[in-house]
Every structure is written in structure tokens, then in C-alpha cells.
Amino acid sequence: MFGLRALEHMRQASGSRTLLATLYRTPLPVVSKLSSYTSEWAADFAAVKEAVDTGSATIVDVRNPGELQEEGKIPKAINLPLPELKQAMELSAEEFQQKYGCARPGQTEPLILHCKGGIRAAKAAGQLTESGYSNLKVYQGSFADWVSNGGPVEK
């Protein structure tokens, strides 16, 4: 189980959103929203492939840079490591461009978040929701699913 499905499973098993908020250090209202709208927040392989092929959404990889160097990345994905995500999105457009080599996504721009298995991507969705981002999807299987479905990988 990955990402939002894992969050929902844990919420149901524990009966407590407070446990999830503690585990993921995500504010309770955000955890509630993420777990209540699992299907609305979910992206699958086909949605990510479409974003790669058409540019319909910005793909954000929240893994650490070493993971990308070792395993590769989904084509066109921008790397915003989870530990610096919130700070990165608060940079000015110019600072963001300089540091990450691309334009900073707008708060209503479609974003698909992924990591290796989905947990960090779900946490990233919580952080971005807190910061006012509203058009988010979490690739539940994340990079592991991408590779297992034969998606192209850039090294």
C-alpha cells in the first residue's frame, strides 16, 4: 500500500486522524481533506504518462537528489526534495528559477507529486495545501509504480 491509500488505511484502522497528523506531521485539517478525498487526489500511471507526453501537469519529484542520481527520474519531473519543498515554494519566481532551473509552479497549476512509493508525496500534498496550492494529485504508486509499468526513466 502506498501514499494516500496507506493514509486512508491507517486512518480507518486507528479510527483517529490525530494519529495520522502526528505520524506525518501534517495539520489535522489537511490530513482530513487528504484522507476524505482519496480518489480526487489520486493520480495513476496513465495520468502521469499523459502529463509527461502533453505537459498537462507539472510533475514534482520530492525524493532526495541522491535517489534521482541512483535510480533516475520520470521525464520532465522537477526535483523539489521534501525537506526543502515548503521553503522552495516561498522563493521569489527569480530565485526559484535560478535554484531549480524552471519556473515556480503557480498555486492553481496542476501538480502531480511523487516520491519512491507515495508516502512522502502525500506529505508534500499536505504541505502544499497548507501553502495555498489547490490543484494537486498524488501518484500513489510513485516511482516504483512508474518503473514497474515500464515508464521511461531519465538517468
Q: Catalytic one among 43, 60, 89, 115?
A: 115
The runs of H, that is alpha helices, within the chain are 3-14, 17-24, 28-36, 38-41, 45-54, 65-71, 82-89, 93-100, 119-130, 142-148
Instruction: Respond yes or no: is residue 102 known to be catalytic.
Output: no
- Sequence-distant (≥ 6) Cβ neighbours of residue 81 within 8 angstroms: 62, 63, 64, 65
**Active site members:** 115
